[in-house]
Structure 1
Amino acid sequence: MFTRAVSARPRHVVVDIAVAVGVCVLLWLVIRIGSGALAPFSPADAPSAIDTDPAALPGYAGRSLLRMFAALALSLLFTLVVGALAAKSARAEKIIIPALDILQSVPVLAYLSVTVTAFIALFPGSALGLESASVFAIFTSQAWNLTFAFYQSLVTQSAELDEAARALRLTRWQRFWKLDVPGSMIPLVWNGMMSFGGGWFFLVQSEAISVLNQKFALPGIGSYVAAASAEERTDLLLLAVGAMIIMVVAVNVLFWRPLTAWAQRFRIELSESAAAPRSLLLDLLRRSRLPGLLGRGLRPVGEGIDRAARVFGRTGAARPPRSRDASALLVVLVVVGSWLVADYVSATTGWAEVAHAAGLGLITLCRVLVVVVAASLLWVPIGVWIGMNPRVSRLAQPVVQVLASFPANFLFPFAAAVFAAWHVGLGWGGTLLMSLGAQWYVLFNAIAGASAIPNDLREAATNLRLSRWQRWRFLVLPAIFPAYVTGALTAAGGAWNASIVAEVITYGPTRLEANGLGAYITNATELGDMPRVFVGVVVMSAFVVGINRVFWRRLHRLSEHYAIQ
């Protein structure tokens, strides 16, 4: 025993040193790369060109990656606060959920049109303003999907766990960190991966900013792709695609793969799967004593917050019924907002422009419906197959994560060249390009829903000798239905947002456009025609919110009855 203890101690020391060195290197890289955000900046002298020297590509990739993780951190904070508030408060839900419907329907270009000037004014003389605008644009492509996933997980929470939390008299803070967040961990991780991929998709627009007849270019791999496309440099585009693949694989191996394996500890089941996913990095961190020391060091902070949370009482009854006050407030906001919109439209573009935009919206709506239906038919069976087979999941998850994380619009310049050479219109081609950015929401939520099915229920289905159809009808489809609704809803929102990229693509002087609302908003944004941008955004929001209210929200309510209790 003595020999074993002595021999084990050096191994722990080596692991601790390796982890400490890795953390120090990571912090040094963040400080080194992030220092560029504090460089002097003047809008009048803002560079619109990017150095396409291949030697600059690694630094550009690092800058883009730092923006992505900054946006992800903001998205996670927003999710935990807003998603919990919507799920726990009936009054807040009446405001937050419609607001999220509207916010997810607003294109990234519209956010940039409004926020670029504001952030530059907030940080005068510093590049931090433009960097903040870029991070905020990426945030808007990540946050809504994560928030919907967290909210859906909370409203479909197990009744037994809820009763246990009340019996144990947990404070609100204890319940949040010991029940709400752990119970939502699997969908949070999978939707976090999907949101991260969505951020990559809009990276070009977030770094090569063209709004209000002015162009800004931030150093990054997205702006590098835009510059190479403008110069018709296929070799540089291929180099950027290769760098992007390396970066996506590295992020998945070093970040998402360990998170996926770690999240399996939060599965609700009595028996354990025989082949759980693993990660070498996670195994290394588990052998190190440093995470435990860090946790013990932060424990007083958590205890202090817990004592403060006791002022608000312990876990109480279920959510109160919907408040008439909240409904009345919502009606007032809708009426006042509608009056202001109508007044602005009447004074600027006129109602004929709204009718024109609505007609284009119907065309884009058809493309969105095709994307969602095709993605559901194709990816739900595949997602269930991956999620319910641990051995398949171990091999397929890294591939799926890389494919979903890779920004498909990096390939759009090649698509423009091919479509132009083959005389293919962007009508159906635009639908295909939209699907490349939206289909993964369905797949990832199907995998997350299938992965969360308790192993006990799978074994029960096997013991009952259910046929394949009976297993799908009585186990699989009801179990994944809440996750599928979240995935399909966010896929539809992602398709609407992707239309601004997929309905207008360029490669050098070649510019292809498809009739649709996305092309309408893109052209208006590039010209700085703010009244038409406003009309396009309002029409797109009306389409998305109307469909969500009539169709998707009803499915959300229905999905609460299919949650595994």
Structure 2
Amino acid sequence: MSLLRTFPGRGALARPQRGVADVAVLFGAAALLWLLVRLAHGATVPWDEASAPSTVSTEPAELPYYAARSVLRMFAALAMSVVFTFVYAIAAARLRRAEKVLLPVLDILQSVPVLGFLSVTITGFIALFPGSQLGLECASVFAIFTSQAWNMTFAFYHSLVSQPRDLDEAARSLRLSRWQRFWRVDVPGGMIGLVWNGMMSFGGGWFFLVASEALSVNNRFYALPGIGSYVATATDEGRLDRVLLAVVAMIVLVAGVNVLFWRPLTAWAERFRVEESEAAEAPRSSTLAVLRRSHLPALLGRVFGPLVYPLDRAMTVFGRAERPLWISEGRRRAGDLVFAVVVFALIGYGVVRMVSFIADTAGFGEVVHALLLGLVTFGRVLVLVVVATLVWVPVGVWIGLNPRVSRLAQPVVQVLASFPANFLFPLVTGVLVATGIGLDWGGILLMSLGAQWYVLFNVIAGASAIPNDLREASASLRLPRALWWRKLVLPAIFPSYVTGGITAAGGAWNASIVAEIVSYHGITLTATGLGAYIKDATGTGDGARILIGVTVMSLFVVGLNRLLWQPLYALAERRFSL
């Protein structure tokens, strides 16, 4: 009887904790809803292109509102990136003919700089919403989207093509629909890599926030309320104190997003880890603990849970997950021939139009000049990738294999990776001017601040995904350190490293746009390279030079992917997928 009296006491003590969790979740949801309504209203105010402001106020009181507007744009772009990732990666991994087109197109899209997208799309977005600031907001969100989506798509595509064969056979034998397979096999199987790469892509979006909010296209300047445009205005005015204030606000902002969103998400994603033994210490999150203690998520599950089965039934129109019906070899070859003819016809038409446009405007001598500048930028990218590999692979393995270290290091790494390095460019400009170091070498450092983290994050994700039973087996066998690296760690992280390497190289090309021209309060440093060429052409609205610069950059990126990264992808699939 004494034991029976003890248990109600513990239950009574637990109930107030659940009540507090319910209140915290309800208050947080209400505050988030109010903030969304408040910020959405600011995005739809009347706006006139002729009288649009080119700067924003640098008063410190405006900084919290600007920061909230920037966060809203970042998450809107992240939502677009997730949808794009699911659709594009599934099509590339599951459709044999589409894969031959979608992967090269993804290489090209990754290589096109943010300013290249802006120069083409901003006029269309403004025309889509006349008289409203929503058009400029959409252009800004789309620019951030282009800095996030490609890395996530590559990561999810890799998880699909390296999916264990037994899972594929189980999905087919259970006669799952394509919809059921997507949500019950594909997404859970790629969740850990998707979350980590989403976190990295979010950091890439911060890096291009200034270019996405302080727009300079075709000799026109537009500024949206945001922390990126705040830094751009303070830099132009030479207000170093306001720049430092924005740096502090940015650190607080990145840390807050990490605590409230990314850290709970990474801890929640651990439920999708597939292994036969549990990790010694799983990642934890106070925010996730509060959500799990609250009754509200379970209540929402009971409300919307009954909709799952009808939705599954409705989505069977997309077919089953079995292998497609047998098609004769002649029909297959005829289909491949028609597909190839259509693709090459479209490519040929585009090439002819591009060649005629360049011949009538800038001339082919400008193409040779851009190719030489591309070789200079390529040298910087190569140095960056090699140094990032040597430095961050050991660090990433150390963090990924130690949950306690990961829990402590993740906020620091997230702040470093997400912090937009171009916020520090005014300070870097002063140091380079004072020391006499040219931007030709200093540009490598600036590019690395925005690209090296792709290697680190992917290695952390790959190391943390090593099954715990393999770790225990290697410990039981007492493998020497060199053998442990050669037989377990390097093969296990190799697929993730390839994903990190290809996105780091693409990110470095993109970062060259903002790293090869640096200015502060009338002082401008310019490095020789393709990034400076494209940025100058975009600022002056020279369409021919923009086309040449973007095309040459795409050729370099796609060529590097085909000659180096794609063979490494194939090797990762063939030999190193768990």
> Could you say which TM-score interval applies, normalised by the shorter chain?
over 0.9
Partner of 2:336: 324
SS in 1 for 2:54: coil
- In structure 2, relative to structure 1, the CA distance for the partners of 1:33 and 1:275 (3 Å cut) is same
Q: Deviations over 1:286-316 (max 9, x none)?
A: 1112112222323344323311222333211
In the alignment, which of 82, 99, 105 is matched to residue 99 of structure 1?
A: 105
Does 2:439 match 1:426?
yes
- In structure 2, relative to structure 1, the CA distance for the partners of 1:35 and 1:319 (3 Å cut) is farther
Aligned amino acid, residue 70 of structure 1: A
In the alignment, which of 133, 142, 146 is matched to residue 139 of structure 2?
A: 133
SS in 1 for 2:274: coil
Aligned amino acid, residue 45 of structure 1: S
- In structure 2, relative to structure 1, the CA distance for the partners of 1:173 and 1:9 (3 Å cut) is same
In the alignment, which of 527, 530, 540 is matched to residue 543 of structure 2?
A: 530
Distance (whole Å) between structure 2 residues aligned to residue 391 and residue 241 of structure 1: 28
Deviates more, 1:172-181 or 1:504-513: 172-181
- In structure 2, relative to structure 1, the CA distance for the partners of 1:232 and 1:91 (3 Å cut) is same
Partner of 2:509: 496
Alpha-carbon deviation of 1:2? Answer: 5.1
Partner of 2:362: 349
Partner of 1:57: 63
- For normalisation by structure 1, the TM-score amounts to 0.97
Alpha-carbon deviation of 1:168? Answer: 2.2
Partner of 2:294: 288
Distance (whole Å) between structure 2 residues aligned to residue 61 and residue 227 of structure 1: 15
How do 1:350-365 residues align onto structure 2 when only pairs under 5 Å count? 350-365=363-378
Partner of 2:524: 511
Partner of 1:412: 425
Partner of 1:234: 240
Distance (whole Å) between structure 1 residues aligned to residue 154 and residue 346 of structure 2: 22
Aligned amino acid, residue 447 of structure 2: M
In the alignment, which of 259, 262, 268 is matched to residue 262 of structure 1?
A: 268
Partner of 1:560: 573
Alpha-carbon deviation of 1:328? Answer: 4.1
Contact 2:458 2:499 in 1 (8 A): yes
Contact 1:88 1:319 in 2 (8 A): no
Aligned amino acid, residue 522 of structure 2: P
Distance (whole Å) between structure 2 residues aligned to residue 445 and residue 541 of structure 1: 23
Alpha-carbon deviation of 1:547? Answer: 1.3
Partner of 2:3: none
Alpha-carbon deviation of 1:327? Answer: 4.0
Q: Deviations over 1:425-473 (max 9, x none)?
A: 0011001100110000000000000011100111111122211111111
Q: Deviations over 1:163-184 (max 9, x none)?
A: 2222222221111111110111
Q: What is the aligned residue count?
A: 565
SS in 2 for 1:44: coil
SS in 2 for 1:216: strand
Q: Which runs of 5+ in 1 are unaligned?
A: none
Aligned amino acid, residue 357 of structure 1: A
- In structure 2, relative to structure 1, the CA distance for the partners of 1:163 and 1:429 (3 Å cut) is same
How do 1:60-71 residues align onto structure 2 when only pairs under 5 Å count? 60-71=66-77
In the alignment, which of 413, 433, 450 is matched to residue 437 of structure 1?
A: 450
Contact 2:81 2:148 in 1 (8 A): yes
- In structure 2, relative to structure 1, the CA distance for the partners of 1:464 and 1:552 (3 Å cut) is same
Partner of 1:113: 119
Alpha-carbon deviation of 1:14? Answer: 2.7
Alpha-carbon deviation of 1:36? Answer: 0.6
Distance (whole Å) between structure 2 residues aligned to residue 10 and residue 391 of structure 1: 30
Alpha-carbon deviation of 1:243? Answer: 0.4
Distance (whole Å) between structure 1 residues aligned to residue 274 and residue 336 of structure 2: 36
Does 2:235 match 1:222?
no
Partner of 1:86: 92
Contact 1:157 1:563 in 2 (8 A): no
Distance (whole Å) between structure 2 residues aligned to residue 328 and residue 388 of structure 1: 49
In the alignment, which of 35, 44, 51 is matched to residue 50 of structure 2?
A: 44
Partner of 1:208: 214
Q: Deviations over 1:319-346 (max 9, x none)?
A: 9999734444433333222222111111
Q: Percent identity?
A: 63
Distance (whole Å) between structure 2 residues aligned to residue 430 and residue 140 of structure 1: 22
Contact 1:40 1:125 in 2 (8 A): yes
Aligned amino acid, residue 411 of structure 1: L
RMSD of Structure 2 on Structure 1 (CA): 1.6
SS in 2 for 1:45: coil
Alpha-carbon deviation of 1:7? Answer: 4.8
- For normalisation by structure 2, the TM-score amounts to 0.95
Contact 2:179 2:318 in 1 (8 A): no
- In structure 2, relative to structure 1, the CA distance for the partners of 1:400 and 1:318 (3 Å cut) is farther
In the alignment, which of 197, 200, 212 is matched to residue 203 of structure 2?
A: 197
Contact 1:94 1:330 in 2 (8 A): no
In the alignment, which of 366, 382, 399 is matched to residue 369 of structure 1?
A: 382
Q: Deviations over 1:493-519 (max 9, x none)?
A: 000000000000000100000000000
Partner of 1:483: 496
Distance (whole Å) between structure 2 residues aligned to residue 508 and residue 168 of structure 1: 65
Contact 2:495 2:577 in 1 (8 A): no
Q: Deviations over 1:186-206 (max 9, x none)?
A: 111110111000000000000
Distance (whole Å) between structure 2 residues aligned to residue 311 and residue 520 of structure 1: 50
How do 1:164-203 residues align onto structure 2 when only pairs under 5 Å count? 164-203=170-209
Alpha-carbon deviation of 1:559? Answer: 1.0
Alpha-carbon deviation of 1:221? Answer: 0.4
Contact 1:142 1:199 in 2 (8 A): yes
Aligned amino acid, residue 514 of structure 1: A
Distance (whole Å) between structure 2 residues aligned to residue 211 and residue 7 of structure 1: 61
Deviates more, 1:511-520 or 1:324-333: 324-333
Alpha-carbon deviation of 1:402? Answer: 1.3
Distance (whole Å) between structure 1 residues aligned to residue 310 and residue 342 of structure 2: 36
